Amino acid sequence: MRRRSSASIAANPVLIGAATVLVIVVAVFLAYNANSGLPFVPTYSLKIAVPNAANLVVGNDVRLGGARVGTVDSIEPVNGRGGRVTARVGLKLETAVKPLPADSTFLIRSRSALGLKYVEITKGSSTRSFADGAQVPIRQATPKPVEFDEFLSTFDDKTRAASRSGIKELGDAFTGRGASLNQAIGDLNPLLTSLIPVARNLADPRTRLGQLFGSLDQAASQVAPVATQQGELFANLDTTFKALAGVARPYIQDAITNGPPAEDAVIQNLPKQRPFLQNSTRFFAELRPGVRALSTAAPDLADAFTTGTRTLRRSVALNQRLKPTFTSLANFAQDPMVSLGVGDLTQTANILNPTVSFIKPTQTVCNYVTLFFRNASSLLSIGDQNGTGQRFVIIATPQGPNNEGGPSSAPANGPTADNFLHSNPYPNTAAPGQTHECEAANEKYIPGKQVIGNVPGNQGTNVDQTKLGKTDAP
């Protein structure tokens, strides 16, 4: 019975045709959906936001480390703030990559020059991860992709002309220099040997060479707005180098040839000149006040030079007449008694110096000497046709005990308002240790109070100006 049923199925063309059609339909279905993944196979889905999904189509590959790990499942536009339009791309990934760290980045890259794209995933190292169906923010669509047409657009007419000019100039530069190039290549061995530790240092993670290129990218983005000015700079440099080319030989060539000997001479001589330059700096710093004073004294100095020119012509004869005088002075200076006398004078001056310093303000500030002689001369200077007479005024003394009209047992101290003694036998004259004031004739009269000695406060330096002396009363 079994053999008979099996033979009947194999001999039935309808069943064989139906099975064949079913297999073909399943194969076509699987082939049609191959780019979207096999049915009934679990997947890991993500939604990533990208700035632009141009030329990316549903079914494009998603790759991780160069291996295909999924496909693009959907693409839809997203309206953002300010009218900006971005794209949201749905990814259907294999569960082998699940879960992706939360700091992973996504980049749409070109797979061929014909515009075929794919999504590249750079796996991060975060301990957090994206859940199935998670939304990936646009900030992780980095770095910014460079399209193939953008790369080709850099070679515009000006760039191509500049490239041709550069290649031509390089060709002219290497022309006839084969021997020099061979020598340079032969000298590369020590360079490459020394380059090994440099390369090892750059490869060290502590050097952070990777951050350099990021920083260079930021620097390039900063200077991009001034690209026009930079282009003008190179154009101006071309003009400058053309001008330099006209004097390159023999002038610049001689300067370069003689440069090393000149630098050797500078290295040897500059340390020797350093003390001279330091002394000159201090010398001119000390001269600065004198030079500043010369700006006001220049007219007087000019007159002095004019007068001095005439005087110098007559100084020759004067020097001849002064010769006996200087001979006598030399003999005088060699006399041993003279040195003793000079020593005594020096000692006398040193002894008198404190006294003179104390007395000097009496005249220079308070004008005592000239005022004394003025008052002494005016004492008998008033007269008439009969002659001169002494000026005097009768001053009545106040009444009361111990008044100034007779002997007293103590300084007058009241009780009447006028019977108070006011006496300052040693007023301040701005001498060292004293208040800077001319107290005589400037002190205030304090009624109803006995005042003996200096009056409280600073009375100032106002004095009478005389013809015999002049003070600098501030």
Q: Among 64-78, 255-269, 294-308, 386-400, whose mean pLDDT is lowest?
A: 386-400
**What is the chain's alpha carbon radius of gyration, rounded to the nearest angstrom?**
56
Distance, CA of 466 to CA of 366 (rounded, Å): 11
pLDDT at 346: 92
Is the pLDDT at 308 greater than 80, yes or no?
yes
Distance, CA of 261 to CA of 181 (rounded, Å): 26
Residue 222 lies in a domain: no
pTM of the model: 0.32
Is the pLDDT at 472 greater than 60, yes or no?
no
pLDDT digits (tens, 9 = 90+) for 398-412: 888 888 788 888 888
pLDDT at 28: 65
* Residue tagged 């999924």 (tokens): 70
Burial of 91 (0-12, 13-18, 19+ CB in 10 A): buried
pLDDT at 37: 56
Residue 285 lies in a domain: yes
Is the pLDDT at 39 greater than 60, yes or no?
no
Is the pLDDT at 85 greater than 70, yes or no?
yes
Same domain, 18 and 78: no
Mean per-residue pLDDT, 324-353: 88
pLDDT at 429: 85
pLDDT at 348: 92
Same domain, 472 and 402: yes
Residue 237 lies in a domain: no
pLDDT at 469: 43
Is the pLDDT at 321 greater than 60, yes or no?
yes
User: What is the span of the domain harbouring residue 17?
Assistant: 1-32
* Residue tagged 């304090």 (tokens): 446
pLDDT at 27: 66
Distance, CA of 155 to CA of 157 (rounded, Å): 7
Distance, CA of 101 to CA of 107 (rounded, Å): 15
Give the pair of three-digit tokens for residue 424: 């300052």
Neighbours of 455 (CB within 10 A): 18
Number of structural domains the chain divides into: 4
Give the pair of three-digit tokens for residue 319: 């020097």
Residue 469 lies in a domain: yes
Residue 342 lies in a domain: no
Q: Among 29-38, 271-280, 418-427, whose mean pLDDT is lowest?
A: 29-38
Same domain, 9 and 49: no
Same domain, 15 and 56: no
Same domain, 253 and 145: no
pLDDT digits (tens, 9 = 90+) for 289-306: 888 888 788 888 888 888
Mean per-residue pLDDT, 257-271: 88
What share of the chain in percent tops pLDDT 90? 5
Same domain, 57 and 20: no
Mean confidence (pLDDT) of the chain: 82
Residue 425's pLDDT band (boundaries 50, 70, 90)?
confident
Same domain, 372 and 472: yes
Of 115, 136, 151, which marks where a domain is finished? 151
Same domain, 71 and 51: yes
Q: Among 168-177, 314-323, 374-383, whose mean pLDDT is lowest?
A: 374-383
Higher pLDDT, 327 or 389: 327
- Pairing of β 383-384 and β 387-388: antiparallel
Give the pair of three-digit tokens for residue 464: 């009478």
Residue 19 lies in a domain: yes
Higher pLDDT, 472 or 334: 334
Is the pLDDT at 26 greater than 70, yes or no?
no
Is the pLDDT at 1 greater than 50, yes or no?
no
Of 103, 124, 151, which marks where a domain is finished? 151
pLDDT at 31: 58
Same domain, 253 and 301: yes
Among 50, 52, 46, smallest CA distance to 138 is for 50
What share of the chain in percent tops pLDDT 70? 87
Same domain, 414 and 330: no
Distance, CA of 74 to CA of 48 (rounded, Å): 10
Residue 452 lies in a domain: yes
Same domain, 361 and 474: yes
Q: What SS3 state is found at 406?
A: coil
Of 151, 169, 198, which marks where a domain is finished? 151
pLDDT at 140: 84
Is the pLDDT at 88 greater than 50, yes or no?
yes
Mean per-residue pLDDT, 344-355: 91
Distance, CA of 117 to CA of 113 (rounded, Å): 10
Same domain, 57 and 111: yes
Residue 42, preceding bond cis, omega within 30 degrees?
A: no
Residue 386 lies in a domain: no
pLDDT at 180: 83
